[in-house]
């Protein structure tokens, strides 16, 4: 059986091919699954998709009409999939429920320290042999307050690093994580966390209840010199409201690895094209903002775990098993 994998990065391709070797043939495509590319899947019972795939009603109907019966998404998030339509079409949909939390937590801290210590500006200057320190003044993290919104596996890993810096820890989540409490974290309501934190990092999934969790009101409650980091999902932040606050001169730094309108942009080379997204174009002009292209998960460890889980999802589907990663079970459990 040939499995068709959409949105495969060049670094990812040999890992996928090795993981499926001896099991199934896999055809890796660098194009993402969209309404335009969905017809390519015709004749493939199983396809694999990336986090930026567009699996809306129309795409799912095209896939089902072409004979696709199983979608193995190589990500934890699944807000890009219309699960109700998938169930109606009797499609099996599986995801990767977890992978290395350290990959994302460490990258969130990379963004935090890069904006705090003005690393991008400093590196750009030294390439021009400009060794001045003007405008590069940062601050110690030790003794300051880290606000962690979402204290699951990734939030816990982020918290452990913050604890290592010697920071005061505030957390917000629907349930307390005992490991974070053991590190000295105090759980607080969101308004208090926003008002008291010097560094705020987001580690919650994108749901209807968390869409624009950090909106205009939340942004105004934050300290003027706070650092805001988002390595989770772009839709957690109202980007238009964020730009307005940045225009007003607020925040020491903002690090974004995700963007709410990233589909059709991230993972692609747009360097020779004009970008018609005025919000993103304005966002990247601020000297205290770093935007990266959804790469927090992109370590050999995490990608390897994602691929291994995807292979298991395919094996479970072919064996008629309903694993924990299945979002829409089209086959009965055995």
- The residues annotated with a catalytic role in the active site are 233, 262, 294
Tell me the pairing of strands 145-149 and 92-94.
unpaired
Only one residue has tokens 């109606």, namely 88
Report CA-CA distances (Å) from 248 to 146, 208, 244: 23, 29, 6
Tell me the pairing of strands 92-94 and 326-328.
antiparallel
Token pair in block for residue 80: 């890009």
Going along 46-189, which residue ranges are E strands? 46-49, 70-73, 92-94, 145-149, 168-172, 186-187
What distance separates the 2 farthest-apart alpha carbons in the chain?
67
Helices (H) and strands (E) in the chain, counts: 12, 13
Token pair in block for residue 148: 């962690």
DSSP, residue by residue, 109-140:
HHHHHHHHTTHHHHHHHHHTT----TT-----
Tell me the pairing of strands 253-256 and 227-230.
parallel
Give, as one character, the DSSP assignment of residue 175: S
DSSP helix/strand/coil, 291: strand
């Amino acid at each position: 059986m040939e499995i068709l994998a959409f949105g495969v990065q060049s670094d990812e391709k040999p890992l996928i091919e090795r993981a499926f070797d001896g099991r199934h043939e896999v055809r890796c495509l660098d194009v993402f699954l969209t309404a335009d590319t969905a017809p390519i899947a015709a004749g493939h019972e199983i396809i694999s998709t990336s986090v930026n795939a567009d699996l809306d009603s129309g795409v799912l109907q095209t896939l089902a009409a072409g004979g696709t019966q199983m979608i193995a998404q190589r990500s934890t998030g699944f807000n890009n999939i219309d699960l109700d339509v998938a169930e109606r079409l009797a499609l099996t949909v599986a995801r990767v429920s977890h992978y290395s939390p350290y990959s994302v937590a460490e990258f969130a801290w990379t963004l935090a320290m890069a904006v705090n210590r003005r690393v991008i500006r400093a590196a750009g200057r030294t390439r021009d042999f400009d060794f001045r320190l003007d405008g590069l003044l940062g601050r110690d993290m030790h003794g300051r307050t880290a606000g962690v919104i979402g204290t699951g596996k990734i939030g816990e890993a982020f918290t452990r690093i913050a604890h290592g810096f010697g920071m005061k820890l505030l957390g917000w989540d629907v349930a307390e994580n005992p490991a974070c409490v053991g590190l000295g974290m105090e759980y607080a309501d969101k308004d208090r966390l926003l008002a008291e934190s010097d560094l705020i990092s987001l580690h919650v999934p994108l749901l209807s209840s968390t869409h624009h969790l950090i909106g205009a009101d939340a942004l105004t409650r934050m300290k003027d010199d706070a650092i805001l980091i988002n390595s989770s999902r772009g839709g957690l932040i109202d980007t238009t409201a964020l730009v307005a606050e940045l225009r007003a001169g607020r925040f020491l730094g903002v690090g974004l690895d995700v963007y709410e309108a990233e589909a059709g942009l991230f993972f692609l080379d747009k360097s020779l094209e004009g970008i018609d997204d005025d919000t993103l174009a304005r966002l990247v002009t601020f000297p205290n903002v770093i935007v990266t292209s959804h790469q927090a998960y992109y370590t050999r460890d995490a990608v390897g775990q994602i691929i291994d889980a995807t292979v298991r999802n395919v094996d479970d589907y072919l064996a008629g098993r309903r694993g924990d990663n299945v979002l829409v079970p089209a086959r009965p459990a055995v």
